[in-house]
Amino acid sequence: MYNYLKVVREDAICILYISVPQSLNALNSKVLAEMNSFVDNIDDSVRVLIITGDGEKSFVAGADIAEMKDKDEYQAAEFANLGSTVFRKIELLDIPVIAAVNGYALGGGCELAMACDIRIASSKARFGQPEVSLGIIPGFSGTYRLAKLVGPSIAKEMIFTGKNIKADEALRIGLVNSVVEPEKLMDSAKELANTMIKKAPIAIRIAKKCINKELTMTIDAAIAEENEDFGYCFTTKDQKEGMSAFLEKRDPEFKNK
């Protein structure tokens, strides 16, 4: 079905591998178009999506420089819009998205990881926004998301210097949630996904919407939004089941209703 992606289903978990081994999984317009199609057609039965890179060396090594080199300003802006659109769709999926970063996450790769909800990194992972070394800036929403995640000052240092950082430094600055040994990366991502699958899917969906939406709100508006969504949870059967199970000292059986 796809030339540059591998899709693996494990019950309610879907694992998406970016698979362009000849370029360390670099993103070109064809790869991004396939990712766009995948996101638009993801199965409703998927409860958690894990995104990773195919192979041991690279998550995504960046955007495809060979494709970008001779673009004019309008073509370049169009390419940036394609990547940003796909990443925004990933960010807005109503299920948790985990990036399992197994190697180089540079440029577009770092930006893809940042579009995911949670980032688990191999101890061999490397992160960076090296675009200024090529005479450009991050083009797939990197200036925005990096500053949101690690703060403007650290984001500026990373972007202005173009330097790569190791996984432990990424953890220290808040770019990733955890760092594990390479052989434990996918098991750790799946373990986290399975923990989420046991929780109420409607509640997770609403919580994700709240967090994403409230990042651009004033505190008073965000609190009001959360209060309203909290109330909505009480219209669901999952809320009744969850609270009944708690009081009855048993595991809940959520039905996504």
- For 63-116, write each residue's pLDDT tens digit: 999 999 999 999 999 999 999 999 999 999 999 999 999 999 999 999 999 999
Q: Active-site residue among 56, 73, 131, 225?
A: 131
Tens-digit pLDDT profile for residues 214-231: 888 888 998 898 899 889
Query: Is residue 73 among the annotated active site residues?
Result: no
Q: Where does the pLDDT of residue 7 fall: very low under 50, low under 70, confident under 90, or very high at 90 and above?
A: very high
Smallest Cα–Cα separation from 177: which of 118, 123, 126, 128? Answer: 118
Q: What is the mean pLDDT of the chain?
A: 96
Position 216 scores a pLDDT of: 86
Contacts (Cβ under 8 Å, ≥6 apart) of 109: 25, 27, 53, 58, 59, 60, 61, 62
CA distances from 36 to 5, 86, 89, 187, 241 (A): 11, 5, 8, 26, 36
Query: Is residue 131 among the annotated active site residues?
Result: yes
Tens-digit pLDDT profile for residues 223-253: 898 899 889 899 999 999 999 999 999 999 9
Sheet strands side by side (includes 48-53):
5-10, 13-18, 48-53, 97-101, 118-122, 178-180
| Residue labelled with tokens 């509640």 | 203
Strands annotated E in the chain: 5-10, 13-18, 48-53, 58-60, 97-101, 104-106, 118-122, 126-128, 164-166, 178-180
Q: Active-site residue among 91, 111, 228, 253?
A: 111
Q: For residue 229, how many other CB atoms are within 10 A of its CB? A: 16
Q: What's the rounded mean pLDDT across residues 41-59?
A: 96
Delineate the domains of the chain, giving CATH numbers in brackets.
5-197 (3.90.226.10), 201-247 (1.10.12.10)
**Stated pTM of the model:** 0.94
Position 226 scores a pLDDT of: 87
